[in-house]
């Protein structure tokens, strides 16, 4: 029986891969140009520490523009995985909805090791989410808490229509205060998507407020950090403040 060749040590393989990519970036070999080269490096502590919260948010907006224009970076996920194996230094923690059309890492064109990501229907906060955010910011050094909602949110629509279904009922009840707080002239129903989107915006704003109110740890760790809300326009993927 033939013996399978030994695999290269991860560090050696990563260095060779990174060196090759650097050559391609400088020379344009095989038709590659800098924007199309696969990004092998994971975010380092030095890079993260130099960034301000506004820098991080600006980079997300730039990534979202690349996504919408079809010019996303060619991430070398294997190399990024190897590069971050001994430590991670994400710049932000993102809370978003579980909607299959709302994957934050793709919509913002980020790679492995750049963001912590929590997902729950309706992008609501609870004790487990807050604990995760406290780890991300107070223990791991993330500088931005981003809550990302989206248009045409099924969880928001379910809350408006008083849907009851097992454990989902309790989750939707946490969205209902946003319904009452939303000022809207027009039909206040789940079939009116303008109203659904208005409630979704209020829900994101209230989630940010709840995070500030319910986490003394995040409040204490707040110096040099920033809370940001946004919504994703589902048809286009566009970042909406």
Contact criterion met (CB below 8 Å) for 83 and 76: no
How is residue 15 written in tokens? Answer: 């260095």
3-state secondary structure at position 89: coil
Alpha carbons 92 and 230: distance in angstroms, whole number: 14
Binding site for Zn(2+), by residue number, is 97, 99, 150, 153
Where does residue 229 rank: exposed (0-12), middle (13-18), buried (19+ CB within 10 A)?
buried
Task: Give Cβ neighbours of residue 113 (< 8 Å, ≥ 6 apart).
Answer: 42, 43, 80, 83, 84, 88, 89, 90
């Amino acid at each position: 029986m033939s013996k399978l060749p030994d695999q290269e040590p991860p560090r050696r393989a990563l260095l060779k891969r990174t060196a090759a990519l650097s050559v391609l970036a400088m020379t344009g070999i095989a038709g590659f140009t800098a924007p199309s080269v696969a990004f092998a490096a994971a975010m380092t502590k030095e890079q993260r520490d130099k960034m301000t919260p506004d820098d991080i948010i600006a980079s997300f907006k730039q990534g979202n523009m690349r996504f919408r224009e079809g010019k996303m970076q060619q991430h070398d996920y294997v190399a990024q995985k190897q590069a971050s194996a001994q430590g991670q230094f994400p710049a932000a923690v993102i809370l978003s909805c579980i909607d299959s059309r709302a994957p934050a890492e793709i919509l913002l064109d980020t790679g492995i090791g750049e963001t912590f990501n929590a997902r729950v229907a309706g992008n609501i906060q609870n004790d487990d989410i807050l604990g995760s955010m406290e780890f991300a910011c107070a223990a791991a050094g993330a500088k931005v808490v981003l809550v990302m909602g989206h248009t045409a949110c099924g969880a928001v629509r379910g809350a408006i229509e008083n849907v009851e279904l097992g454990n989902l009922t309790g989750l939707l009840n946490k969205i209902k205060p946003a319904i009452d707080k939303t000022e809207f002239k027009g039909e206040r129903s789940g079939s009116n998507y303008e109203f659904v989107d208005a409630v979704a915006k209020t829900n994101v704003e209230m989630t940010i407020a709840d995070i500030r109110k319910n986490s003394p740890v995040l409040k204490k760790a707040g110096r040099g950090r920033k809370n940001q809300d946004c919504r994703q326009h589902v048809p286009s993927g566009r970042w909406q403040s």
